[in-house]
Structure 1
Amino acid sequence: PGAAFSFLADASGWQRWFFSIVAMIAVVLLLVMLFRNTKDRFLSLGFVLVLAGAIGNLIDRIMLGAVVDFILIHWRDFRWPAFNVADSCITIGAGILLFDGLFRKRIERA
């Protein structure tokens, strides 16, 4: 019922709709940004990955009432928080967007 790392998981139920609305707004904004940057394939890849992850988690939240995290990584005493494929898409896409924003323009100018 919550968000990343169980944020607001113990709230009274309003968070399902709150996070669904936030995700819908994010999807619309990502679509706008994607279509404004169609010539840059690397940047588009970042937007598409974040968009796919947002839509995947939104579908879970609307249909199931919560996002299903099913990938568990642990080794000895180390345990990573549970996540899903959509979370991975969002993380990789955000990394691409961050890399593009911080480094790519400088590399192309050099």
Structure 2
Amino acid sequence: MSNIPLKQSGVRWLWLALVIFIADIGIKLFVMDNMGYGWANRIEVLPFFNFLYVHNYGAAFSFLSDQAGWQRWLFTGIAFAVTGMLTYWMSKLPAQEKWNNIAYAMIIGGAVGNVFDRVVHGYVVDYLDFYWGTYHWPAFNLADMAIVTGAAMIILDSFRSKQESQA
């Protein structure tokens, strides 16, 4: 990573993080204002998908959701640290390095969306429920999808970079 003028660096891709954040918060506010809370109020959309409104006090898959509340600040701190680190990395990448800048922006947008929920509400609003038979994948949201997609892009890039350097 080299010194790149800020205007030509990957931070130019932070607009994507902002779009993800706004879309995520907009959907969450819509869900909170227009749906009843809980599984009993779900809207069946497809034979494998429901739209619903639930709270997640933990992290992914409700990890630590049964704790006394300290996890809210732990996950908020982690999100701020990751956001700062990724923004720094973006400042060192050229704007033309689309793949990694998009991945970083997706993670930042999703992390900030969930941090907003944690700080404002004390929990994350989830609304997507996929299932097979009686097994339900843990409910999630757009922010979670952005984070997972961005992380998958980074992992795929690590394989791509290795293959290109060996060729």
TM-score normalized with structure 2 length: 0.61
Deviation at 1:101, TM superposition (A): 1.1
1:32 to 56, 68, 88: 88
Higher relative contact order structure (alpha carbons within 8 Å, sequence separation ≥ 6) = 2
Distance 2:118 2:109 in 1: 14
1:26-105 → structure 2 map (5 Å cutoff): 26-38=82-94, 39-105=96-162
What is the number of residues matched between the two proteins? 110
Tell me the SS of whatever aligns to 1:72: strand
1:10 to 38, 43, 66: 66
- Bigger helix share: 1
Q: Percent identity?
A: 36
Distance 2:63 2:166 in 1: 41
User: Partner residue of 2:11?
Assistant: none
Q: CA RMSD in A?
A: 1.5
Deviation at 1:86, TM superposition (A): 0.2
The structure with the largest alpha-carbon Rg is 2
Tell me the SS of whatever aligns to 1:33: helix
TM-score normalized with structure 1 length: 0.91
